[in-house]
């Protein structure tokens, strides 16, 4: 028996679940892990797609994110420029190297961009989202060479480009998409982001930008 099995066995015995898994019990556990069967799905996540999109916008807004809707990808740079202007940011941003973002015509919108990981002092970043979760207005972002995780946390303003077609109802559907579209190995990091960073740890007073961006702006593309 390995040290790992011994530790887990002690935990199971402490919970009254017997010793190390073996035989039929181990086979049943492994089959359950492979199947990825969803648990109870909230009723509010089980609705037609257009209603899921509306719920995502409502929940993201409730979480203090701002949302701009555009017809197509070509409209994204102008929407980002409007956000930067309104927030008093310079028309300059660090962007993810992903084609969904780096392939846009930023110069036409008067925005100076660099495709790289974020560094201290960057004011605004633009990244793509893998999916949006309607039940909580949450964004699912994946780490990788084309989407450095630093872009999600270092700049003051984080702009996320999300295709409305990639909004799902529950979290379980987003995980299913990831397994189906990416396979193994999964990304090293999956970030779930609901609104800008905040904390009420100090005197229970809400402080925005405590551990990350002060503002989260979502550019939602399509219907």
pLDDT tens digits, residue range 153-196? 999 999 999 999 999 999 999 999 999 998 888 899 999 999 98
Both 1 and 76 in one domain: the answer is: no
Both 157 and 53 in one domain: the answer is: yes
Both 91 and 16 in one domain: the answer is: no
Enclosing domain of residue 25: 1-35
Both 82 and 151 in one domain: the answer is: yes
Quote the CA–CA distance of 84 and 123 in Å, as a whole number: 10
**Which residues lie below 8 Å from residue 215, measured CB to CB, with a gap of 6+?**
66, 87, 156, 157, 158, 196, 208, 209
Both 105 and 146 in one domain: the answer is: yes
Centre a 10 Å sphere on the Cβ of residue 110 and count the other Cβ atoms it contains: 12
Cα–chain-centroid distance for residue 6?
36
Both 57 and 119 in one domain: the answer is: yes
Both 176 and 212 in one domain: the answer is: yes
Tens-place pLDDT, residues 99-109: 999 999 999 99
User: Which pLDDT belongs to residue 206?
Assistant: 56
Domain count, the chain: 2
Both 98 and 186 in one domain: the answer is: yes
């Amino acid at each position: 028996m390995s040290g790992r099995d011994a530790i887990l066995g002690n935990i199971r015995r402490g919970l009254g679940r017997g010793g190390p898994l073996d035989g039929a019990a181990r086979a049943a556990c492994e089959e359950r892990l492979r199947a990825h069967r969803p648990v109870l799905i909230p009723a509010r996540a089980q609705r037609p797609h257009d209603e899921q999109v509306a719920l995502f916008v409502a929940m993201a807004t409730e979480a203090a994110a701002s949302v701009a809707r555009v017809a197509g990808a070509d409209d994204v740079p102008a929407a980002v420029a409007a956000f930067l202007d309104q927030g008093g940011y310079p028309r300059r941003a660090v962007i993810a190297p992903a084609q969904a973002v780096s392939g846009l015509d930023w110069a036409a919108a008067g925005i100076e961009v660099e495709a790289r990981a974020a560094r201290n002092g960057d004011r605004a970043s633009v990244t793509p989202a893998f999916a949006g979760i309607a039940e909580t207005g949450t964004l699912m972002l994946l780490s990788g060479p084309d989407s450095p995780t630093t872009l999600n946390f270092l700049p003051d303003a984080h702009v996320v480009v999300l295709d409305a077609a990639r909004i799902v109802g529950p979290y379980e559907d987003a995980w299913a998409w990831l397994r189906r579209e990416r396979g193994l190995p999964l990304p090293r990091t999956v970030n779930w982001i609901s609104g800008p960073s905040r904390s009420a740890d100090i005197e229970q007073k809400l402080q925005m930008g405590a551990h990350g961006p002060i503002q989260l702006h979502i550019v939602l593309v399509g219907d």
